[in-house]
Amino acid sequence: MKKIPLRTSLALCLLAWHTIFCNVVLAETTESTANTNNENGLQPTSTEASKKHKLTAENYKQILEKLNSHLEEESNSGEIYFRRAFVYQKMQKYNNVLSDCDLAIANKFDNARVHLLKGEALFSLKHLKDAMVETDRSIAFDNSKARAYALKAKINQSLTHYDQALHDINRAINMDATQASYYKIEAEIAYKVEEYDRCIQDANKAIQLNPNFSDAYAIRSQAYEAKDKREEAKQDKIKAHKLAKDYKEDQF
């Protein structure tokens, strides 16, 4: 039987991986927009789509095995290291993400995507200053990505630089107003600076875009509590808890 060339085999592997992985990315990071089809019940909600395409621990294991196999034959492929780092990110193995991002860069895969991924991993590990450095490097490569400014907003929020955080998240929203997570970030920052009406407005926008966004209900409940609207706060807490529980039970 004729052996499939390495590059062809790799392409087939990455195509299969890309198809599976993109389904998850679309379900988890592109929150559903409130449109006519959703209102008429013609499209699944974001949570339903996420459950439909959820990867299991075995799926991740198989993907990693394929990538590791190709790296044994082509150890100088920066793109494969980057793809493996992306899988590790989904598995929340952030130190592995950092190692593979560095390997990708060392093997001439040095671009906005790899620095942003590295920044996200550093943020998850609470290395805030280093995360900011990598995020700025990503923006230096490509300043057109809303996701990078959203990450900057989260870092600045964690550093209590709230004015800068609001500036960053506003820029992200101006670049892409379809992401519920961006409005949730803005709602959290507004809550921190005690702008409770603004927090509620931003949370409302997040929920409009994704009615199953538990974190948006949670931050709105806090703003309602601050305004002494106890019944609204209670209902949002119940909703946030139920949605978070449903999502948690769907994880491996």
* pTM higher than 0.75: yes
User: What integer pLDDT is reported at residue 52 of this predicted model?
Assistant: 46
Name the residue among 179, 174, 232 with its Cα closest to residue 206.
179
CA-to-CA distance for 148 and 135, rounded, in angstroms?
6
User: What integer pLDDT is reported at residue 165 of this predicted model?
Assistant: 98
Chain centroid to CA 65: 24
Contact by Cβ (8 Å): 209, 180: yes
Element (H or E) spanning 165, and its range?
helix 162-175
Residue 87: how many CB atoms within 10 A of its CB? 22
Q: What are phi and psi of 3, to 5 degrees?
A: -75, 135
User: What integer pLDDT is reported at residue 191 of this predicted model?
Assistant: 98
User: What integer pLDDT is reported at residue 28 of this predicted model?
Assistant: 36
User: What integer pLDDT is reported at residue 186 of this predicted model?
Assistant: 98
Tell me the two tokens of residue 163.
């004015």
Low-confidence ranges of the chain (pLDDT < 50): 1, 18-52, 249-252
In the chain, what are the domains?
149-252 (1.25.40.10)
Residue 80: how many CB atoms within 10 A of its CB? 24
Q: Name the amino acid, one letter, at 1.
A: M
User: What integer pLDDT is reported at residue 32 of this predicted model?
Assistant: 32
